[in-house]
Amino acid sequence: MLPLTGCFPENYLSPSPAHGVPGSLFTWCAPLRAPSPLLLALPVPPPRTRDRYASYVWNASILLADKIAAKEIDVAGKRVLELGAGLGLPGLVAARMGAELVVLTDYDQKDALDDTARAVDEALSPELQHRVHVFPHTWGRSVEPLLRISPSFDLLLVADCVWSPALHGSLVKSLVSLLAACPSATVHFAAGFHTGRKAVAAFLAAAEQAGVTPRDRADWVEVSVEGEVRAWNWGRVECLRDGREVKVCGPEPLEEEKQEERNRWTLYGTLGLQGAGS
C-alpha cells in the first residue's frame, strides 16, 4: 500500500482538468469525508492513445470516484457499467467499494483497451480483478454484447464523455439501449466545463429528447476543484432544446467564462429512463 501523504493535490487544485504524466503513476486517494482510507495508483500510458484523450485522468472521473469512495454513490453489491472509461478510475473505485461486477468500456481499439486492462491489473488485488471486465463498446452500436456479460446493470457511470457534440447522438443511443434493458438503472453523470457549458447543455438537451431525463433537477450541481458547490442552471438546456440563441437564460448570462475559470468546475447529477422509478 502506498503512503497516503501527499496524494491530495493530485486529485484537484490544478489549473488543468486533465491529469497524468506519461510513463508515471497517477495517485488518487479517497476524500477526507470517506469512511475509510483508500488509495489507487494508475499507470499513465505513453502518448500513443492519448490523442483520443482516453488516458488522462479527468476531474469528472475524480469527482465520481470521490463520491463512490464517500458512499454518496452506493455501489455495494451492485452491477456497474462505465462508458468511455479510459483508465477507469470510477469503476476501479467501485470494485474496491464492493461492487458485485464492474464493466469498463471504451473505444474498440486494442491499445486503449490494453491501457485500461493494465490499470485494472495495477490498481486492484487479484481477488478483485475477477469482478472487473474490460470490454469494447463503440457508442451507438448494439449493446447486446454488454448485456451478455450481465443482463442488467444497476448503475451506469459517464465521466467527461460529452466534450464532442459530434458524439452526443451516439452516446445517447447507447444510453437509451442500456436503459431500455435495465429500466431501473441510474446514470451517474459528471462533465467538466473545459470545452464549455454549452457542449454539456447540448448533450443534456439531446438526452431529454430521447427520454433520458434527470432524476431530480434540484440535485444537479456544479462542484469546483476547491469543493465549492452551486446549482446547475437548467435554463441553459431549455434554451438549447427550444432552439433559442439568447445571451441570458434563467438567472445567469450564457457567455462562457475564461478557460481557467471553466477548468475549475465539474457538473454532477443523475439521469434515468423517463417514467422509470429510481
Helix, strand, coil tally for the chain in percent (to 5):
35, 25, 40
For the record, the C-alpha cell of 168 comes out as 452526443
pLDDT of residue 256: 73
> Whole-angstrom Cα distance, residue 211 to residue 220?
18
Report whether 26 contacts 119 (CB < 8 A): no
Report whether 236 contacts 251 (CB < 8 A): no
Q: Is 144 exposed, middle or buried (0-12, 13-18, 19+ CB in 10 A)?
A: exposed
Strands 101-106 and 79-83: parallel
The hierarchical CATH code for the domain 8-273 is 3.40.50.150
Average pLDDT value for the chain: 87
At residue 236 the predicted structure's pLDDT band, cuts being 50, 70 and 90, is confident
| Mean pLDDT in residue range 132-140 | 97
For the record, the C-alpha cell of 89 comes out as 478510475
pLDDT of residue 117: 96
pLDDT tens column, 244-276: 554 445 555 556 778 888 889 999 999 999 887
pLDDT tens column, 186-211: 999 999 998 889 999 999 999 999 99
Domain ranges of the chain: 8-273
> Whole-angstrom Cα distance, residue 101 to residue 126?
14
pLDDT tens column, 81-129: 999 999 999 999 999 999 999 999 998 989 889 999 999 999 999 999 9
> Whole-angstrom Cα distance, residue 121 to residue 42?
9
- Which residue, among 242, 179, 231, has the nearest Cα to 209 in the 3D structure? 242
pTM metric for this prediction: 0.91
At residue 76 the predicted structure's pLDDT band, cuts being 50, 70 and 90, is very high
> Whole-angstrom Cα distance, residue 105 to residue 148?
14
